Structure 1
Amino acid sequence: MAEVQLRHIDKRWGDFVGVKDFDLTIPDKEFLVLLGPSGCGKTTTMRMIAGLEEATDGEILIGGKVVNDLEPKDRDVAMVFQSYALYPNMNVYENIRFPLKVRNIAPDTHDEKVRRAAEMVELTQFLHRKPADLSGGQRQRVALARAIVREPNVFLMDEPLSNLDAKLRVSTRAQIKNLSHELQVTTIYVTHDQIEAMTLADRVVVMNAGVVQQVGTPTEIYNYPANTFVASFIGSPAMNLVRGNVYKGTFTAENISISGLNSDVEGEVILGFRAEDAIVAANQAATNGVGADVFSIELLGEATMITVKVGDALIAVKADKEYSTDIGKPFFAEIPAAICHLFDAKSGDRISSMEGEK
């Protein structure tokens, strides 16, 4: 049983608050992703779980045992770092084996454990090589194997893919996803990349300025963002956000008019909708949505992204890959009320969406 509990964790350095009142239970075998921009407190939270940082307030429990006063080596966690942290003088085999030696695991079990871990990350043929002779992706897999061989209660992964190029990032992400399914070990994964979070996580914790903004499955966070920060951070592109006014169920802003919204909401709001949910229209007369000149065009392969400017906001609409237009030409898109989200204009907190969720 490797349930991890964080009970009202704070981390402060003098007057600076790094993490504020982080309160969450991570069930056994869950893959939890801490997601947010640089400086949001996600890595500090992970380091407190590992014992590399001391919590200012609150309790950390692993497997039902309070570990605040335990040394990192006594918490039965394995950490994978962004920088690989391999020993350059050791070959791959010895790098993977090293945790077994320092923990005084019976030597006659080492070879089997090392080779099994290496096989899991497809490194068997590279066991004789030194880290300098490996690619970035291979080095990261050595770091993963070194964590696997420990057979810990909890895996901690601190932005393990951020040093890899785009192609390697995709393949290594698939490797981690497969390993998670195979190993069934509680995993806490830190990233600023929302695509990693959405593809890997059972649940995502979105953080900003040390405060948890929302906790939920990738689907919940994508479909029902708790506030404008989450809405603007999740999705590629991020959710379109436009400031305007609602009166008798109709939202209006420069070049936008959408009727059929929640009639209980009136006054200044922020309206959100996703690029893929809007529908390209032939002309203004056909639209309950946006009409403006094309600001930019991006060919994405599977689609064409059209951006228009509405006041100070840039609005993205995903069109068919065959769609063709030019910058400066008129563009119209229907924005059905059912796809819209409303947020409080002052706090940014969610008011509602139009899909029956209040």
Structure 2
Amino acid sequence: MAEIQLRNLSKRWGSFVGVDNFDLTIADREFLVLLGPSGCGKTTTMRMIAGLEQATGGDILIGGKRVNDLDPKDRDVAMVFQSYALYPNLDVYENIRFPLKVRRIDPATHRDRVMRAAEMVELTDFLHRRPAELSGGQRQRVALARAIVRQPNVFLMDEPLSNLDAKLRVSTRAQIKNLSHELKVTTIYVTHDQIEAMTLADRVVVMNKGVVQQVGTPTDIYDRPANVFVAGFIGSPAMNLMEGEIRGGVFEGARVRVPGLSAPDGRAVLGFRAEDAGPGAGSEITAPIYTLELLGDSTMVTVRAGGALVSVKAPKDFRAEIGESFSAHVPASICHVFDAATGARR
């Protein structure tokens, strides 16, 4: 069993706080994604779990055993790095086999384990090649196979797709999802890409400035963001956020008027997603078109409402010119209301 418990985990460098009181239990076989912008503390958290960084506070338990004082090699975790970290002088077979040699696993089992790992990531035809002869996607698959061959209790993946082009990211992401299903090993995955988080995770931890902002399933976080930061970080495009005031259930801001809200009076931030609104009757927003983007299945219309750029999805056959007036219907039922002072969900 590889349940991981992080109890008030912290990392500080002098007065700078990298991770602040991270408290979470990661279930056995769960795929957990740490998500956030650069510098939010997600990689530092992973490195503390791996033993590559020393925690300045709190405890790390893997399978019920406190591992704070154990060396990385004794924690039974396998890491997949952003940089692949392959040995250029070894062929693919030997790169995958290397962890077995280092850990002095019975040599009689090496070939079977290497071949099984290579087959899982579709590399059996490339075992004789060296890393320089492989594409970026193939190198990343070698790194995955090298982690798989160890049969660890925990996989740690640090932005493994960030060096790949868009098409390879999609195919390799699907491969990681399938491997997770097959291997059933507890996995912690670090990324700043919210699409990776939404498609891969059982649960997502959204972090900012070393502090956990929200923990939940991808659906929970997308449908009910806990605060303005999460609302603005999750989604492509991000949730529209506009400042204004609520009086008698009516939100009013620059070029925006949305009635029918069940929220207390006062300054507030109103949020809604582009796909939940549309052109037409209601005219809760009326503003000049800032830009138009044809997405294939739809057209993204962006208007400038006061100081905010607001995006609305229109049908793919929608036609207009930049600068024309555009009216959008924003039902109160699809709106999110956040406190203007704290950013917390109301």
Q: Indicate the residue corresponding to 1:356 in structure 2.
A: none
SS of structure 2 residue aligned to 1:100 = helix
In 1, Cα distance between equivalents of 2:254 and 2:231: 21
* Alignment of structure 1 residues 209-288 onto 2, 5 Å: 209-262=209-262, 264-281=263-280, 286-288=281-283
In 1, Cα distance between equivalents of 2:81 and 2:73: 16
In 1, Cα distance between equivalents of 2:29 and 2:23: 19
- Please say if 1:147 is aligned against 2:147: yes
SS of structure 2 residue aligned to 1:261 = coil
Q: Deviations over 1:159-204 (max 9, x none)?
A: 0000000000000000000000000000000000000000000000
Structure 2 regions of 5+ residues with no counterpart? none
1:293 to 288, 300, 317: 288
Return the letter of the residue paired with 1:226: A
SS of structure 1 residue aligned to 2:55 = coil
In 2, Cα distance between equivalents of 1:81 and 1:296: 38
Q: Deviations over 1:15-51 (max 9, x none)?
A: 1100000000000000000000000000000000000
Q: Indicate the residue corresponding to 2:135 in structure 1.
A: 135
CA shift for structure 1 position 289: 1.3
Q: Indicate the residue corresponding to 1:159 in structure 2.
A: 159
2:345 to 338, 347, 350: 350
**Residues 254 and 311, structure 1, Cα contact 8 Å, conserved in 2:** yes
SS of structure 1 residue aligned to 2:152 = coil
CA shift for structure 1 position 288: 4.8
SS of structure 1 residue aligned to 2:236 = coil
In 2, Cα distance between equivalents of 1:324 and 1:55: 56
**Residues 243 and 253, structure 1, Cα contact 8 Å, conserved in 2:** yes
In 2, Cα distance between equivalents of 1:26 and 1:33: 10
In 1, Cα distance between equivalents of 2:305 and 2:108: 68
- Structure 1 segments of 4+ aligned residues over 2 angstroms from their partners: none
Q: Indicate the residue corresponding to 1:320 in structure 2.
A: 315
In 2, Cα distance between equivalents of 1:212 and 1:137: 31
User: Quick check: 248-257 or 44-53, which moved more?
Assistant: 248-257
Q: Deviations over 1:207-265 (max 9, x none)?
A: 00000000000000000000000000000000000000100000011111111001x41
**Residues 288 and 336, structure 1, Cα contact 8 Å, conserved in 2:** no
Return the letter of the residue paired with 1:327: I
Q: Indicate the residue corresponding to 1:68 in structure 2.
A: 68
In 2, Cα distance between equivalents of 1:71 and 1:255: 59
CA shift for structure 1 position 280: 1.1
**Residues 259 and 288, structure 1, Cα contact 8 Å, conserved in 2:** no
CA shift for structure 1 position 301: 1.0
Q: Indicate the residue corresponding to 1:106 in structure 2.
A: 106
CA shift for structure 1 position 302: 1.4
SS of structure 2 residue aligned to 1:168 = helix
CA shift for structure 1 position 322: 1.1
In 2, Cα distance between equivalents of 1:192 and 1:239: 17
In 2, Cα distance between equivalents of 1:302 and 1:39: 35
Return the letter of the residue paired with 1:63: G
SS of structure 2 residue aligned to 1:350 = coil
Return the letter of the residue paired with 1:271: L
Return the letter of the residue paired with 1:70: L
CA shift for structure 1 position 279: 2.1
**Residues 283 and 327, structure 2, Cα contact 8 Å, conserved in 1:** no
Q: Deviations over 1:28-86 (max 9, x none)?
A: 00000000000000000000000000000000000000000000000000000000000
Return the letter of the residue paired with 2:70: L
In 2, Cα distance between equivalents of 1:280 and 1:300: 16
CA shift for structure 1 position 267: 1.0
**What's the RMSD between the two structures over aligned residues?**
0.6
In 1, Cα distance between equivalents of 2:40 and 2:255: 35
Give the number of equivalent residue pairs: 346
In 1, Cα distance between equivalents of 2:254 and 2:56: 48
2:330 to 321, 335, 338: 335
Return the letter of the residue paired with 2:51: G
User: Quick check: 316-325 or 23-32, which moved more?
Assistant: 316-325
In 2, Cα distance between equivalents of 1:258 and 1:213: 28
In 1, Cα distance between equivalents of 2:199 and 2:182: 16
In 2, Cα distance between equivalents of 1:56 and 1:71: 16
Q: Indicate the residue corresponding to 2:82 in structure 1.
A: 82
Identical amino acids, percent of aligned pairs: 73
